[in-house]
Amino acid sequence: MRRTLAAVLAAALLAGGCTSEDDEPSADPTPAPGASPAGAPDLDLAVSEPVEDSLYPEVGDPGVDALHYDLTLDWDPRASVLTGTEVLTFRATATAGQFQLDLGEPLEVSEALLDGEPVDLEHRGKDLVVRAPVEEDERYELTLSYAGTPEPAAAPTTRSDFSTIGWTITDDGETWTMQEPYGAYTWYAVNDQPSDKALYDFTLTVPAPWTGVANGELRSRTEAGGVTTTRWHLAEPAASYLVTVATGDFTMTEDESASGVPITYWTPAEEPKYLERLRRTPEAIAWLEERLGPYPFDTAGVVVVDSDSGMETQTMITLGETEYATSPEVLVHELAHHWYGNQVTPSEWRDLWMNEGMAMYLQGAWEADDEGVPVDTVMDDWAGSESDYRAESGPPGDYDPASFGESNVYYGPALMWHELREELGDDAFWSMVRAWPAARDNDNSDRDAYLAWIEEETGRELTAFFDAWLLSPTTPPRS
């Protein structure tokens, strides 16, 4: 997610072209990366070891390892009704008499099948309990039919740019989703925790000329009977907070990075100004690839929605309709998360700093390059407020759970990385930064494993250094 305080930079204009209805992609018979020859997803890619989150234990169930969500969603903006059919393939991590998912209370399940047989449910609040026995390490297919008007959840934060999370309905019936640290459960049944990454397929239907946008590759877009249907395939596993769906009157524009990554921009049809702001995406990808290695996914994209915030939703960044949220520094920040946060994801939310600290540091390094100033200048500017952020919300590695995503997890860790860069030197530092996501491709990690890896990679004993920056109530002295 983007930081909340920044100077706004002017967007440069790059050339590009817009697709027409006749240019829309059709179903691709070629299996996507990560798929079997028959086109079915390779579920072994998504095997995880879910854990109970230490900050938000009421969300998610470590007994479920979701492998693949197949979501067929119809949005009726006139009635504000979401109708869904979900097929969840999962692995049971323990033998038990029942298992549990998260699903928003306004959504009512009309039918539930486990491996094709009817199964009893209990839906209390957001807890959807499936009363059926499961065996450890066995795989199952749960099919749910449901409908209702989704309601966003309260966000555990004091930030000014968002107060609710999950499925959000605008005044004219368009929708979008941002759901960190949770909130995917407001629109589908999910194991809503970062340690459980899964593959996704989406089939979205909305009234024409609107379009449904989601993560991954757009496999097809068709219009018939006044309805637009889009099909999306996400070929690499994602945590639920990194999933996005947006519906509205969007214009699709195609682009490509210098390294050949296909990019799509989805901008409000009546707001062409945002397209020009997004044209720096290839430049941002190229800058990041110089430091982090090849972009780690098959596609990239940006969807602009009626929000004040921004989110690194995997392969399809979700940005609000504001000058800052669509600025180049936010593009760099959210794209940086594709290595730090999306490719390798924290196992639990206490380690949010692992995502935000590095994305923030990369943003600062980019700002320095873009403005033609030393990165020290940017860090000195940020350091002026870091002690206040730490005092308000807690140390970055031990923050107040009611202050999720506050400035303390951005600026302190960014300063920490700069101090380590000064200690190690540029070559060793950037080698370490580049190596970590590749070492944990499509995986999760926690603080202990990450810091042990850094010590091994650098040959330095850094326990006191990291403890001071991540756990101390006061800002450590800078060199």
SS3 217: strand
Mean pLDDT computed over 84-88: 98
**Average pLDDT across the chain, whole number:** 93
What would be the CATH architecture of the domain defined by 345-471? Answer: Orthogonal Bundle (1.10)
The 10s digit of each residue's pLDDT in 138-152 is 999 999 999 999 999
Q: How far apart are the first and last CA of the chain?
A: 29
Give percent of the chain above pLDDT 70: 92
CATH number of 30-247: 2.60.40.1730
For residue 1, what pLDDT band results from cuts at 50, 70 and 90?
Answer: low
- 3-class state of residue 37 by DSSP: coil
Tracing tokens 């009309």 back to the chain, one arrives at 110
Task: Please report, for the chain, the start and end positions of each structural domain, with discontinuous segments joined by +.
Answer: 30-247, 249-338, 345-471
The pLDDT assigned to 5 comes to 35
Which of helix, strand or coil describes residue 430?
helix
Q: Do the domains at 249-338 and 345-471 have one common CATH topology?
A: no
Model's pTM, two decimal places? 0.92
What does the pLDDT look like over 302-356, one tens digit per residue?
999 999 999 999 999 999 999 999 999 999 999 999 999 999 999 999 999 999 9
Task: Tell me the CATH architecture of domain 249-338.
Answer: 2-Layer Sandwich (3.30)
User: Residue 64: pLDDT above 50?
Assistant: yes
The whole-angstrom separation of Cα 262 and Cα 404 is: 33
String of b and e for 349-361 (b: at least 16 CB within 10 Å)?
bbbbbbbbbbbbb
pLDDT digits 0-9 by tens, 101-129: 999 999 999 999 999 999 999 999 999 99
Contact in structure between 305 and 176 (CB atoms under 8 Å) = yes
Using 50, 70 and 90 to split pLDDT, how confident is the model at 14? Answer: very low
Q: What does the alpha-carbon distance between residue 376 and residue 418 come to, in Å, rounded to a whole number?
A: 8
Q: Angle of helix 426-439 relative to helix 447-458, nearest 10 degrees?
A: 140
Given a cut of 90, is residue 430 above it in pLDDT?
A: yes
